[in-house]
Chains A and B, each alone.
Chain A
Amino acid sequence: MTRQTLDQKLAILSDAAKYDASCASSGGTKRNARSGGIGSNTGAGICHSYAPDGRCISLLKILMTNFCIYDCSYCINRVSSNVPRARFSVDEVVKLTIEFYRRNYIEGLFLSSGVIRSPDATMSDMVQIARKLRHEEGFRGYIHLKTIPDASPELIDEAGLLSDRLSINVELPTDAALSTYAPEKNPGQIRRAMADVRQRREQSKDRSHTGKRPPKFAPAGQSTQVIIGADASTDATVLGQSTRLYSSYGLRRVYYSAFSPIPDSSAKLPLISPPLQREHRLYQADWLLRFYGFNVEEITSVTPDGNLDLDIDPKLAWALAHRGLFPLDVNRATRELLLRVPGFGVKTVNRILTTRRHRHLRYDDIARMGASMKKAGAFVTAGGWTPGQLIDSVNLRARFAPPPEQLNLF
């Protein structure tokens, strides 16, 4: 076999990493290079580029190697797949990260890997890359390490001290689906690893009795990814799992990744076009859970089958099912209720609340504040505006849903 060039390896190992949804570089400790070294982290993530699949490129997202001894059917790197394989050396990853960073292409590194030899051997190579970046290159940028669930606690411990974010993918919405499609992965093991990270993060926030702060452990928190549409789980199942993960392990984010056909796919999984709209609705619902005070049941009970309405967003779907609460008076309604108006975001609601201390709000005022009145109009009253019978009209949903489309015959 001929030796692969760095360019060839990069092609193979970035191609293999593209199924990981996360590329976030927000959060973490604030750092800069004024005292030496290179790089800074301001807390706000920067997306340096965008690919034609609409996803942002903030970090150099690569696999250390795509050799893997596991056989997860949804994964392109599974042992039974025939994709070309490659492996970076520690120095190659360090050099790529630093040189890309110097040219302002990236915010840092997101390193994942197939499992080679053993989980501990793989994790220790990944930790070595992070250690070299931090200690030898003086790198102050963002590092996100994907931990290998079976790796030993000492390695996870060091990984957390070197990186900004740790993550472990739960991959599928139920334990049963995971044991079907990823037989080597153990759902209990994944949850225990997340529990360890949460505990370690909490310990790192306690000052010692002398008042000294321990070193920060994964300051940007931990995240995970669920693959949507590979098994038959409903959105209610997926969102139920997310709320449990948020409450159990204090996760920063749960990423949803529509199952997408992969080259050389396994016979166990259907080759369908990825359910991108479903993924989008799940992100919207996730947002409502975290920032708008909704419960899972409220969002998922609107439709009978436990899946979100694909035509309209989940907040609108909820509002249409609870028309009795509307229209709300923008000048009087509480914050909690205003957050439930379709077309009002958190910023709009904050602006309404500060401004209405001074004066009575009219329709034009709210429109100027950034609300989407095309949506909100039917659900609110304001000075000079009342939706009249609109809220009770039979075809209210049809105003928002996309027009019916002729199916393609061929």
Chain B
Amino acid sequence: MRCVTVPLIGASTVWRDAARGLLAAGVAPSDTLWNAEGQGDAPDLFGAEGAVPTSAAALTVPRSFVAMANSVCYHSDPQRFARLYSLLWRLRSQPHLMSDRADPDLVKLRQMEKAVHRCRHKMRAFVRFREISAPGANRRSFAAWFEPSHYTLEMNASFFRDRFADMDWRIVTPDVTAIYQGGEVALEAGQAAPKLPEDASEELWLTYFRNIFNPARLKVNAMTSEMPRKYWKNLPEAAAIPDLIANAPARALAMAAAAPTLPPLRAASAQAQQARLTSVWADTGEGLEAAIRTCTRCPLHCNATQAVCGEGPQNAPLMIVGEQPGDQEDLAGRPFVGPAGQLFDKVAQEAGLDRGGAYVTNAVKHFKHTPRGRRRIHQRPNSDEIDHCKWWLNAEITRAAPRLIVAMGATAAQALTGTGARVTARRGAIEQGSLGHDVLITVHPSYLLRLPNAEAQAEATAAFRADLALAARHVQTAGT
């Protein structure tokens, strides 16, 4: 029988070295006695036989086992080391064991690991420091008493060091004490609860705790499942809990019973101030733009971020009309800034069409879409929505009085000529718009983006480029 005693501080390293040596020497779990220092009986002197072998030989175990063992070593169960070693023993012949989540031995160890992690987390949450700085000291100093369920202070030392680096602190538990001084954490044996001085901030903290609680929503079980009563005795705010619970129903009833009151005198003057400010903050766009931005003529406005108005010189000779804003346009509030807009810019430049000199707008001003997961899928506007939005498009056309309007895609064609049918067949032709303007029909650039093969895409892009070149020429000849 081999006997190993594992200390409280540095348990995971000691256990790992011992386990490595025992495994290399082929000592079975049944021939090993693991003692946890400070727990259970004294080592079995009569059964002990020989020293624990050490081994420098490489040992390969799954990474997940190492991580689990490093946590389980700090569990309070005296059997933890033996359990770990017997799983390690089994891992030699069953390397996939770590991914078998139904194996009873592994399930038990995973539960222990979970308990240790929970305890580690609760320590990070529930440690409460009190200031113990000496008067006039240039570095502040704090101390806390905490009673964890497992030996997790060692695992948390680096967490507290990284967080509270600019002050000295000590955390005392019954088993281990951590002292941070001069930039280093030292771990020592546990101590009895120290007497800590009163701290003025604790009163403020209690005030906060009492007031952040809503008596109309009493849910005691939800509280105790996350903040078990075993922690309460070291939490200053817990002293206020019984009172808060006892008075909550009465406070909620009193709120319900109180009649609505008249507003205080200052309300009128504050609202007058608010009214004065409103006119200043309202969208400052002029006339038409301001009206388009506040449009609620169809239900599309509820789901879109904002209406996207046209952009460009108000009396431009050329007007470009697209379908509707897309995801990017909806966010930015500007037309043709997304992928289709970028493609349009590129082709227009190649065709000698000056986008800056044209008025660019959409047939429908709000983005229509349906959510799918974390994306928004574009939806084609229906004829009713196009009709509602024609009010704005017509106003823009009347204001600009362009020589030519380019209708890109079926929606624009429908808004301008009354029918959106057979756009690919009608492309490149100049038709009479419903307001009497010349309308050149072409495809929408997003159609080019959606074409599946490169050949068809190049062909369609060339035709689109030709249409835009035609538009540029038409505007010039009509102007002279």
Question: B125 contacts which of A10, A47, A258 (Cβ < 8 Å)?
Answer: A47
A129 beta carbon closer than 8 Å to chain B: no
Question: B255 contacts which of A103, A196, A262, A364 (Cβ < 8 Å)?
Answer: A262
B281 touches A119 (CB 8 A): yes
> Hey, which chain B residues are within 8 Å of A366, CB to CB?
102
> Hey, which chain A residues are within 8 Å of B235, CB to CB?
49
Give chain A interface residues in 164-201, CB to chain B under 8 Å.
Answer: 174-175, 184, 187-188, 191-192, 194-196, 198-199
**Roughly how many angstroms separate A195 CA and B331 CA in the complex, as a whole number?**
5
**Roughly how many angstroms separate A260 CA and B281 CA in the complex, as a whole number?**
32
B373 touches A354 (CB 8 A): no
Interface segment among A14-22, A209-217, A300-308, A316-324: the answer is A14-22
Give chain A interface residues in 12-48, CB to chain B under 8 Å.
Answer: 12, 14-15, 17-19, 32-34, 36-40, 42, 46-48
B134 beta carbon closer than 8 Å to chain A: no
B187 beta carbon closer than 8 Å to chain A: no
B99 beta carbon closer than 8 Å to chain A: yes
**Roughly how many angstroms separate A119 CA and B222 CA in the complex, as a whole number?**
37
Question: B100 contacts which of A32, A174, A199, A355 (Cβ < 8 Å)?
Answer: A355
- Whether A174 touches B217, Cβ cut-off 8 Å, given contacts A32-B165, A46-B125, A82-B264, is no
B267 touches A80 (CB 8 A): yes
B162 to chain A, nearest CB (A): 4
B201 touches A34 (CB 8 A): no
Give chain B interface residues in 315-353, CB to chain A under 8 Å.
Answer: 330-333
> Hey, which chain A residues are within 8 Å of B159, CB to CB?
40, 42
> Can you name the residue of chain A whose Cβ is closest to the Cβ of B332?
A199
B241 touches A103 (CB 8 A): no
Interface segment among B69-77, B85-93, B244-252, B393-401: the answer is B244-252
> Can you name the residue of chain B whose Cβ is closest to the Cβ of A31?
B162
We find that the number of chain A residues with CB closer than 8 angstroms to chain B is 96
A102 touches B167 (CB 8 A): yes
Interface membership of chain B positions 128-165, coded 1 if the CB is closer than 8 angstroms to chain A and 0 otherwise:
11110000000010101000000000000001011111
Interface membership of chain B positions 363-402, coded 1 if the CB is closer than 8 angstroms to chain A and 0 otherwise:
0000001011111100000000000000000000000000
Question: A103 contacts which of B102, B124, B125, B202 (Cβ < 8 Å)?
Answer: B202
B270 beta carbon closer than 8 Å to chain A: yes
A17 touches B212 (CB 8 A): yes
A10 touches B374 (CB 8 A): no
> Hey, which chain B residues are within 8 Å of A357, CB to CB?
99
- Whether A198 touches B331, Cβ cut-off 8 Å, given contacts A54-B222, A71-B271, A81-B263, is yes
Give chain A interface residues in 205-255, CB to chain B under 8 Å.
Answer: 243-244, 246-248, 250
A33 touches B223 (CB 8 A): no
A260 touches B217 (CB 8 A): yes
- Whether A361 touches B102, Cβ cut-off 8 Å, given contacts A247-B376, A265-B260, A266-B260, is yes
B271 to chain A, nearest CB (A): 6
> Can you name the residue of chain B whose Cβ is closest to the Cβ of A14?
B211
We find that the number of chain B residues with CB closer than 8 angstroms to chain A is 94
Interface membership of chain A positions 357-397, coded 1 if the CB is closer than 8 angstroms to chain B and 0 otherwise:
11101001110110000000000000000000000000000
B239 beta carbon closer than 8 Å to chain A: no
A333 beta carbon closer than 8 Å to chain B: no
A346 beta carbon closer than 8 Å to chain B: no
**Roughly how many angstroms separate A273 CA and B369 CA in the complex, as a whole number?**
37
B419 beta carbon closer than 8 Å to chain A: no
B213 beta carbon closer than 8 Å to chain A: yes
> Can you name the residue of chain B whose Cβ is closest to the Cβ of A10?
B207
> Hey, which chain A residues are within 8 Å of B303, CB to CB?
244, 248
- Of the A-B pairs whose beta carbons lie under 8 Å apart in the complex, a sample of 10, sorted by A's number, is A33-B165, A34-B162, A51-B223, A69-B270, A192-B306, A195-B306, A195-B330, A244-B303, A248-B371, A260-B214
Other contacts beyond A15-B211, A105-B205: 15, CB < 8 A? A11-B207, A11-B211, A49-B125, A54-B223, A55-B217, A62-B208, A69-B273, A79-B270, A80-B263, A102-B167, A103-B205, A191-B305, A192-B333, A265-B260, A266-B260
